[in-house]
A and B are shown apart, each in its own frame.
Chain A
């Protein structure tokens, strides 16, 4: 099916469905059911974009209590004063490199959730990242991530899908958050290289698809796994090639890696892919030494990319259905170290970007005169942020994914 036609067609189906004209039940006309199944998730459904800050972002120098005595004392070389912060409200300001975020805030598109963490913080990158990815604080089950489990719960719907439920863009390993038992999501290094080369030989392409699909009598689990992934890779690459051919945007994105990735995601969203989750990472936040310039560079990249992305989505009338979550595996020690850097810490702020967020600061800045092992204490469990995203944004029940006891944090407009 031609992409643009398909998109309009499905939008029409979607409108019809939501207006109650068709329930997409077995009584609905066959072609509509088929169309819905082809998208599995209908275009128009809400989308989550996750931006992971890898290495442990220094939350204290991101959302800054610039008047705090303890802050000034513990950060003799790294501290940022009142004259340089971008003021938010009260005694809180943003890092001066975060001009992009300041713009988002002005446009009421940014929620800053302060003091997010979990009990008994783990200061190993890998452990703490796994905790955020699985939403389990004990290493009981690291086989599937929080989003992957949500996909597993919807596997019957997703089994009909031609688009994967999630897509990870980037060179790093697939984030555990997306790992599911039954539903594969692709990791795509770069969309430009995401195609099967055959030198224009269509027959060879067909032969490859046929050989990948051919039944294997007694395949091991591992072989079955590779076979499913191979057939899905061939299918998705064909769809993306078709979907992104003629995208235009009036927004000028920064040339940074993160901005270019988000631009690609805006393209895929606008192309009407039924993918519900996109995942990207920005690495380099493990600033043990000479933090100042490195951290400023990273935050500048982050803010610029998020602002351009939101503008682009708005220009394409897509912002209302896209929520972006920005998190890191932990914050950093309150006291800077002897190398003008900071060591692994605990709680930190989380950001949400979109037109439906509850804008501004959410929750208090953690106290700097009440630390645990030199780190600020959390007051908002990250799973209550996940709960809000799952329940209130994606419309998926949170308790089966996260367990009981995590009431949605007030991060979205009701």
Chain B
């Protein structure tokens, strides 16, 4: 029997999930893993994941970044082409393309996580090249050392321009970046004082962006002693960051956020739930991969407290639908459609990033989501396994409407269909009891408007 959060205690929840006769690692659980650790999976990928079992599949997700060289080269070339136009919207399309085709979905998912965490919007930065540089930095450290990410972002031209922190003089320290390091990037509210912000801002004096590059301006650096969170010294920016990274609150804050991002939107994970994960994070010197491994192999992750307990983000919805149906489409148009749903990549709403969860859902975005699904299945630019939609039926040897509905539901939906709704979908796809391939578009459109479709 599946467990809810109320049935689990933190100690049990973090134990390894062992498939059993009652709860085998089947296509449904594999699809769950791929929806969360990536952007959904094709039918073929699900078969492969079931064969590998949960540990093998997670291992593959964690290590697939190592074999990316060829794909990376190609993507880098594409990116350079889009830079020529200096239009970050094209770069957003490039990133969606990358998410759709990547052989390392977890790396891409974590890149998106860091983009939301260290949120920087191209709407203000405007320079596509700086956005790309930042994006590549997130990808390089996606599963790696959090400390390196933070030190990287402290020098990142896009971020510092975004926060109006391209200059920081000792007579008038700019508190903006220091505030966000504490409030949003590392500690979270309640773990520092206004005084700590002012002192950390002094550590960063002289850190500047000139002509799109990071420069240390020794003349503007405050050489005097600072006291950050009780530690004193003639700190520079990196020293200040080291003090912050060393706080237990940092590991707790990041792990709490990873829990909400990967496991469940609504559950309030109290400190005792986060503690084992934060312990792992500190033990691994703030390396991210071990934390992810712990999440994706836990009993918690495969419990009903997690499955279907997240709202699909717009990117997950768009890219996920394409991946699940092995489809391709015009990604720049998709990026602009995602803007209407509240999540255009490279354009987060503010430095706090996307709130996610239930905030994705309102009347406007629900209609937009329904319209996006229709656009994806009706648009002549969308190809399915390289051809028209109907051929998916042949490829998967689907013979009946019921069979089609069940197969597509498995690929697209995180929660089972109610009997009435399933019957309605089947009826929409057949006439006089036989399958009508020409109605597949309508059926998928209908499926894509279901409340169930909004869950991950």
Question: Which residues, 173 to 224 on A, are CB-close (under 8 Å) to B?
Answer: 173-174, 184, 186-190, 193-199, 201, 204, 207-208, 210-212, 214-217, 220-223
Question: Which residues, 203 to 255 on A, are CB-close (under 8 Å) to B?
Answer: 204, 207-208, 210-212, 214-217, 220-223, 225-227, 229-230, 232-234, 236-237
- With contacts A222-B265, A225-B358 taken as known, whether A173 is within 8 angstroms of B349 at the C-beta atoms is yes
In the complex formed, the residue of A with least CB distance to B355 is: A173
CA distance A289 to B362 in the complex (A): 35
- Residue A21 lies at the interface, judged by CB distance under 8 Å to chain B: no
A204 adjacent to B442 (CB under 8 Å): yes
- Residue A288 lies at the interface, judged by CB distance under 8 Å to chain B: yes
- Residue B105 lies at the interface, judged by CB distance under 8 Å to chain A: no
Chain A residues near B172: list those with CB within 8 A.
337-338
Chain B residues near A139: list those with CB within 8 A.
189
- Residue A321 lies at the interface, judged by CB distance under 8 Å to chain B: no
Chain B residues near A124: list those with CB within 8 A.
179, 183, 189
CA distance A226 to B164 in the complex (A): 38
Chain A residues near B164: list those with CB within 8 A.
288-289, 339, 341
Which of A172, A195, A338, A373 has the most CB atoms of chain B within a 10 A radius of its CB? A338
- Which of the candidate stretches B61-69, B126-134, B323-331, B370-378 sits at the interface with the other chain? B370-378
- With contacts A208-B446, A223-B452, A226-B451 taken as known, whether A339 is within 8 angstroms of B362 at the C-beta atoms is no
- Residue B232 lies at the interface, judged by CB distance under 8 Å to chain A: no
- With contacts A214-B420, A288-B176 taken as known, whether A194 is within 8 angstroms of B362 at the C-beta atoms is no
In the complex formed, the residue of B with least CB distance to A168 is: B362
- Residue A127 lies at the interface, judged by CB distance under 8 Å to chain B: yes
Chain A residues near B194: list those with CB within 8 A.
123, 373
A207 adjacent to B452 (CB under 8 Å): no
CA distance A334 to B356 in the complex (A): 36
A189 adjacent to B340 (CB under 8 Å): yes
CA distance A129 to B77 in the complex (A): 43
- Residue A297 lies at the interface, judged by CB distance under 8 Å to chain B: no
- With contacts A127-B189, A222-B266 taken as known, whether A187 is within 8 angstroms of B370 at the C-beta atoms is no
B309 adjacent to A222 (CB under 8 Å): yes
Give the interface size bracket for A toward B. Answer: 35 or more
- With contacts A127-B189, A214-B421, A288-B176 taken as known, whether A199 is within 8 angstroms of B378 at the C-beta atoms is yes
B342 adjacent to A171 (CB under 8 Å): yes
Question: Which residues, 353 to 391 on B, are CB-close (under 8 Å) to A?
Answer: 355, 358-359, 361-368, 370-371, 374-375, 378
- Residue A343 lies at the interface, judged by CB distance under 8 Å to chain B: yes
CA distance A230 to B176 in the complex (A): 39
CA distance A214 to B421 in the complex (A): 7
Give the interface size bracket for B toward A. Answer: 35 or more
- Residue A126 lies at the interface, judged by CB distance under 8 Å to chain B: yes
- With contacts A208-B446, A222-B265, A289-B164 taken as known, whether A215 is within 8 angstroms of B364 at the C-beta atoms is no
B415 adjacent to A223 (CB under 8 Å): yes
Contact with B along A255-293 (1 / 0, CB 8 A): 000000000000000000000000000000000110000
B450 adjacent to A194 (CB under 8 Å): no
CA distance A108 to B362 in the complex (A): 37
CA distance A280 to B169 in the complex (A): 37
In the complex formed, the residue of A with least CB distance to B419 is: A217
Chain A residues near B428: list those with CB within 8 A.
207
Interface majority SS (helix, strand, loop, mixed), chain B: helix
What's the least CB distance linking A194 to chain B, in Å? 6
A188 adjacent to B451 (CB under 8 Å): no
B359 adjacent to A215 (CB under 8 Å): no
Interface majority SS (helix, strand, loop, mixed), chain A: loop
B378 adjacent to A212 (CB under 8 Å): no
B309 adjacent to A220 (CB under 8 Å): yes
A222 adjacent to B308 (CB under 8 Å): yes
B363 adjacent to A229 (CB under 8 Å): yes
- Residue B409 lies at the interface, judged by CB distance under 8 Å to chain A: no
In the complex formed, the residue of A with least CB distance to B447 is: A211
A187 adjacent to B368 (CB under 8 Å): no
What's the least CB distance linking B7 to chain A, in Å? 14
CA distance A232 to B364 in the complex (A): 11
Chain A residues near B452: list those with CB within 8 A.
223
A226 adjacent to B454 (CB under 8 Å): yes
Contact with B along A161-177 (1 / 0, CB 8 A): 00010001001111000
A214 adjacent to B308 (CB under 8 Å): no
CA distance A194 to B415 in the complex (A): 27
A189 adjacent to B266 (CB under 8 Å): no
- With contacts A197-B371, A217-B418 taken as known, whether A187 is within 8 angstroms of B309 at the C-beta atoms is no
Chain A residues near B349: list those with CB within 8 A.
171-173
CA distance A214 to B419 in the complex (A): 10
In the complex formed, the residue of B with least CB distance to A335 is: B172
Contact with A along B401-444 (1 / 0, CB 8 A): 00000000000000100111100110010000000000000100
What's the least CB distance linking B35 to chain A, in Å? 15
What's the least CB distance linking A130 to chain B, in Å? 10
- With contacts A126-B352, A222-B309, A222-B455 taken as known, whether A194 is within 8 angstroms of B364 at the C-beta atoms is yes
In the complex formed, the residue of B with least CB distance to A170 is: B364
CA distance A229 to B169 in the complex (A): 50
What's the least CB distance linking A265 to chain B, in Å? 15
Question: A226-B311, A288-B164 are known contacts; what are 8 more A-B pairs with Cβ within 8 Å?
Answer: A173-B355, A186-B362, A204-B442, A208-B449, A211-B449, A222-B308, A222-B309, A225-B361
Which residues of B pack against A, CB within 8 Å?
164, 167, 169, 171-172, 174-176, 179, 183, 189, 194, 265-266, 308-311, 339-340, 342, 349-350, 352, 355, 358-359, 361-368, 370-371, 374-375, 378, 415, 418-421, 424-425, 428, 442, 445-446, 449-452, 454-455
7 example contacts (A-B, Cβ-Cβ < 8 A) are as follows: A186-B363, A189-B368, A198-B374, A215-B418, A221-B266, A229-B363, A230-B451
Lowest 6 CB-CB distances: which A-B pairs, in order? A186-B363, A233-B363, A187-B362, A338-B172, A227-B451, A226-B451
